[in-house]
């Protein structure tokens, strides 16, 4: 069933299927992508509604039917994808191939295992496909820029995260000793959780220091959080501003000036045509 010969041309109808499913430039491909996007959103919406007790009580069977309908549609789609690509195994092992498979398995599993209620969440990974569709459509060049900015500051972010983790472990242990189990800091992991809640300025208040010393340490942690929250912002801002400026580096052939805007037709330094 699966065609593994790599260089032979695909049969016309497989080529057509491929064009519709994988391409987004043709009208048919674009229409398919939009239908898929709506289907994914609707199927996720059905799962979300199904989790609300009152709605499940009233429309349970309808929601189940819809879930099965979407699962069957996505199963057919998955089979079509496997058939129409030149290297089905390579697709099946790719990130989106795995996501496509995981998106349909939980519903089938619920036939055999009763408790597979918990696996429904995996279906939400389908949402990631929305981004693929958007990307295929060349709709969002910006996403690429954002991702590039984030990737180029990856190492700085790792150092930052390592510092945060070390800090929260030390602060957590300290607060466990200062506040103790009586004040809600039941163990070091819980205290670390508190430290992260505080440093990130989320501040639920489910655990909060009660002793004067604990409140003093907490206050210092918050002032520290001020500076710490500034670091990732600074990193991302610098990377973004760099991504922006490095987008347009055409050098003038006459004077060599390079800091032209994207829409510049003439060199702003010597007036030569670019």
The H-or-E segment that residue 179 falls in is helix 154-179
- Among 208, 249, 251, 253, indicate the residue that binds a second copy (CB under 8 A): 208
Backbone angles phi and psi of 266, in degrees to 5: -120, 150
Is the separation of the CB atoms in 126 and 36 below 8 Å? no
* Only segment of 29-37, 76-84, 90-98, 155-163 that touches a second copy (CB under 8 A): 155-163
Residue with tokens 């922006």: 244
- Among 2, 34, 35, 52, indicate the residue that binds a second copy (CB under 8 A): 52
The answer to whether 198 contacts a second copy (rule: CB under 8 A) is: yes
Number of residues that bind a second copy (CB under 8 A): 98
* Only segment of 9-17, 23-31, 62-70, 180-188 that touches a second copy (CB under 8 A): 180-188
Tallying the residues shown for the chain, one arrives at 274
Burial of 56-90, coded b for 16+ CB within 10 Å and e otherwise, reads eeebeeebeebbeebbeebbebbeebbbbbbebee
At 266, is the secondary structure helix, strand, or coil? strand
10 versus 146: smaller Cβ distance to a second copy: 146
- Among 11, 94, 241, 253, indicate the residue that binds a second copy (CB under 8 A): 241
- Among 19, 80, 164, 250, indicate the residue that binds a second copy (CB under 8 A): 164
- Residues 6 or more apart in contact with residue 251 via CB below 8 angstroms: 257, 258
82 versus 133: smaller Cβ distance to a second copy: 133
The answer to whether 73 contacts a second copy (rule: CB under 8 A) is: no
* Only segment of 6-14, 65-73, 102-110, 266-274 that touches a second copy (CB under 8 A): 266-274
The tokens describing 116, both together, are 């597979």
58 versus 128: smaller Cβ distance to a second copy: 128
The answer to whether 140 contacts a second copy (rule: CB under 8 A) is: yes
């Amino acid at each position: 069933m699966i065609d593994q010969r790599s260089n032979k041309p695909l049969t016309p109808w497989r080529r057509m299927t491929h064009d519709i499913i994988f391409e987004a430039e043709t009208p048919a491909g674009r229409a398919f992508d939009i239908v898929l996007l709506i289907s994914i959103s609707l199927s996720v919406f059905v799962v979300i509604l199904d989790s609300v007790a009152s709605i499940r009580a009233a429309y349970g069977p309808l929601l189940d039917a819809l879930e099965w309908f979407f699962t069957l549609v996505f199963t057919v789609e998955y089979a079509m994808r496997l058939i129409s690509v030149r290297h089905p195994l390579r697709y099946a092992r790719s990130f989106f191939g795995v996501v496509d498979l995981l998106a349909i398995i939980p519903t089938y599993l619920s036939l055999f295992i009763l408790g597979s209620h918990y696996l429904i969440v995996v279906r939400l990974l389908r949402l990631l496909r929305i981004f693929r569709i958007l990307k295929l459509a060349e709709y969002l060049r910006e996403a690429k820029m954002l991702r590039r900015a984030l990737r180029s500051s990856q190492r700085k972010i790792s150092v930052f995260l390592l510092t945060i983790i070390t800090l929260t472990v030390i602060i957590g242990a300290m607060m466990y000793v200062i506040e103790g189990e009586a004040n809600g800091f039941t163990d070091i992991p819980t205290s670390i959780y508190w430290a992260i809640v505080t440093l990130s300025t989320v501040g639920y208040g489910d655990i909060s220091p009660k002793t004067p010393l604990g409140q003093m340490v907490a206050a210092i942690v918050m002032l520290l959080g001020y500076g710490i929250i500034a670091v990732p912002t600074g990193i991302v801002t610098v990377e973004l501003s760099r991504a922006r400026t490095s987008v347009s580096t055409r050098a003038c052939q006459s004077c060599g000036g390079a800091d032209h805007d994207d829409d510049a037709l003439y060199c702003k330094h010597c007036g030569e045509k670019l």
